[in-house]
Amino acid sequence: MASLLTPDICVIGAGSAGLSVAAAAAAFGVDVVLIEKGLMGGDCLNYGCVPSKALLAAARAASAEAKNSKFGISAKGRTIDFARANDHVRQVIAAIEPHDSQERFEGLGVTVLRETAAFTAPGVLIAADYEIRARRFVIATGSSAMVPPIPGLDEVSFLTNETLFGLREVPEHLAIVGGGPIGLEMAQAHCRLGARVTVFEAQKALAKDDPELAAIVLEALRSEGVEILEGTGVEKVAKTDGGILVTAKAKDGKTLEVPASHLLVAAGRAPNVTGLGLEAAGVAFDRKGIRVDKGLRTSNRKIYAIGDVAGGLQFTHVAGHQAGLVIRSIVFRLPVAMNEDLVPWVTYTSPELGHVGLSQAAAREKYGKKARVLAADYSGNDRARTEGETTGRLKLIAGPGGRLLGADIVGAQAGEIVNLLSLALSKKMTMKDLAGFVAPYPTLGELVRRAAISYYAETPKNVWVRRAIALLRKFG
């Protein structure tokens, strides 16, 4: 007979979203059950953000020789040990694991069940020998790599983000399906670590970002040797003696056959909804994920869904933010609303590519001529000059009254600069605010001030301003 648990909150999934809810609730003395069938830490720690950024760091170190040459520094006899780069990835994961571990959360007072769970009724969840009847449930099961219906894919050995970081030898030729952030980050990393890389993108690479700034990233990757085939969809794959043959068709109708040693599928993410018994729970969902309202509640008012499984923007920081909203709603009974317009994102290639708020196109569609684009180039920034990082551009989108509507940036440390702009956007700051703060010299953050100041570039030519100045001069 199943043991009955009646916690205040039951969380399904121990990724970044679920862990954040469990830790916060436990800190307030709330009874929490946390269920995870796989690895604690979820996708972000084990297969996503952490290993990918660790590998990118190793790749940057491998590419340092080319950068150092312009500073008059050379290091002859450089070698790349791919296995040691992979060791770095493992070490970073191992260092973070204790923070996400079962032991830590049990120490916080959370009941942790390492089991598969499924609803059998709107308020009943079964996990092995346990029956959980919680006041509120939070589904945070995340997402997995989407496997597109490419003929032959089920007959070849291919990689996803869950298996890519297990490689101990650098691929001779890595073919990547998908030209989004994951595909291009891993393309640059493996190219810098010694692989030949070909990326197939059926539409436009980095399609969600500012086209002008995305083009700068693509040019940088191509200059390093990454072959990026836009408008080229993979039609089929086949196993060969030496690996895999990828057959693709370009927009002009030309058929390409590309032999590769390894194939990485990075064509998007699919929500983890299978096997949860959502139908029995009365929770509506579709292929995009569980449907939620602005307060992150599902069609069953006792059940919330957060993170990747709820569709929308699929980022760890979004999952963490939604966890905070859910805590406010469940624990403090406060009204909450998710606002995706304030969510920033960054692609961690070199150069980095960041975005927050409305895009240039969206702002002009909404505000017409009242939306202005203010730009500052890295080449005009003194710190960028000293670092030899002059490739890049910042765009601020200003609306009526000079209010910040959005921003896009490509260049060194773009992700760090987006932090400032994300705060400015959430606080409804204007160009006056951004032009008026004091930035230490020399820093890349000065790009923000320079772009904001340009909002007032025509002010000195204003006839009324000149007349006012002339009048003031008469008073001595």
Tell me which H or E stretch contains 409. strand 404-411
Average pLDDT value for residue range 408-425: 97
CB count in 10 Å sphere of residue 417: 23
pLDDT in tens, 333-365: 999 999 999 999 999 999 999 999 999 999 999
SS3 call for 420: helix
Share of the chain above pLDDT 70, in %: 98
Where is average pLDDT lowest: 54-58, 202-206, 239-243, 305-309?
Answer: 239-243
Residue 468, pLDDT score: 78
DSSP SS3 for 431: helix
Is the distance from CB of 397 to CB of 429 less than 8 angstroms?
no
| Whole-number Å distance between alpha carbons of 234 and 450 | 44
Predicted TM-score (pTM) of the model is: 0.94
| 180 in a labelled binding site | yes
First to last CA, the chain: 93
Nearest-angstrom CA–CA distance, 396 and 377: 12
Please tell me whether 115 is known to bind a ligand: no
Per-residue model confidence (pLDDT) at position 462: 76
| Cβ partners under 8 Å of residue 263, min gap 6 | 156, 157, 158, 159, 174, 175, 176, 177, 237, 244, 246
Residue 172 clears pLDDT 80, i.e. is over it: yes
Tell whether residue 178 is among the known ligand binding residues: yes
Reading the block at residue 210, the tokens are 């500012």
CATH topology for 153-267 is FAD/NAD(P)-binding domain (3.50.50)
pLDDT tens profile 433-460: 999 999 999 999 999 999 999 999 877 7
Residue 120 annotated in ligand binding: no
User: Measuring CA to CA, which residue among 122, 307, 352 is closest to residue 216?
Assistant: 352
pLDDT at 293: 97
Would you say residue 463 has pLDDT above 80? no
pLDDT tens digits, one per residue of 382-398: 999 999 999 999 999 99
Fold of 351-458: Enolase-like; domain 1 (3.30.390)
Contacts of 87 (CB under 8 A, 6+ apart): none
Helix (H, G, I), strand (E, B) or coil at 410: strand
pLDDT tier at 367, thresholds 50, 70, 90 = very high
Query: Is 184 marked as a binding-site residue?
Result: yes
Q: What tens digit of pLDDT does each residue of 251-282 get?
A: 999 999 999 999 999 999 999 999 999 999 99
The answer to whether the annotation marks 278 as part of a ligand binding site is no
Domain with CATH 3.50.50.60 in the chain: 3-145+270-340, 153-267
Run of H or E including 271: strand 269-271
Contact 318, 312 (CB under 8 A): yes
Tell me the C-alpha distance between 383 and 398, whole Å: 25
Q: Is 87 annotated as a binding residue?
A: no
* 3-state SS assignment for residue 275: coil
Q: How far, in Å, are 56, 172, 244, 256, 446 from residue 152 at the CA level?
A: 30, 21, 10, 16, 52
pLDDT digits (tens, 9 = 90+) for 65-105: 767 767 777 666 678 999 999 999 999 999 999 999 999 99
The answer to whether 142 is annotated as binding is yes
Flag whether pLDDT at 121 surpasses 80. yes
Q: Give the pairing type, strands 393-398 and 372-377.
A: antiparallel
Question: Mean pLDDT throughout 287-292?
Answer: 96
Question: Is the distance from CB of 288 to CB of 311 less than 8 angstroms?
Answer: yes
Query: Is 453 one of the annotated binding-site residues?
Result: no
Cα–Cα dist 86/80, whole Å: 11
* For range 392-416, the mean pLDDT: 98
53 annotated ligand binder: yes
Rounded distance between C-alpha atoms, residue 282 and residue 122, angstroms: 6
CB 89 within 8 A of CB 55: yes
Tokens at 159, concatenated = 């990689």
Look at residue 76 in the predicted model and tell me its pLDDT: 67
Tokens representing residue 254 in the block = 């030309």
Top-level class of domain 3-145+270-340: alpha beta
The pLDDT of residue 475 is: 85
CATH 3.30.390.30 in the chain is located at 351-458
> Is residue 225 a contact partner of residue 197, using CB atoms and an 8 Å limit?
yes
Q: Is 148 assigned to a binding site? A: no
Residue 287 predicted with pLDDT over 70 = yes
- Mean pLDDT rounded to a whole number for the chain: 95
Residue position matching structure tokens 């296995």 = 83
402 is in an annotated binding site: no
d(CA 307, CA 48): 14
Q: What is the DSSP string of 69-112?
A: GGGT---TT----HHHHHHHHHHHHHHHGGGG-HHHHHHTT-EE
Helices and strands of the chain, counted as H and E runs: 17, 25
∠ at Cα 58 (207, 258), nearest 5°?
50
Nearest Cα to Cα of residue 306 among 136, 97, 169, 91:
136
The 10s digit of each residue's pLDDT in 208-256 is 999 999 999 999 999 999 999 999 999 999 999 989 999 999 999 999 9
Q: Is 72 annotated as a binding residue?
A: no
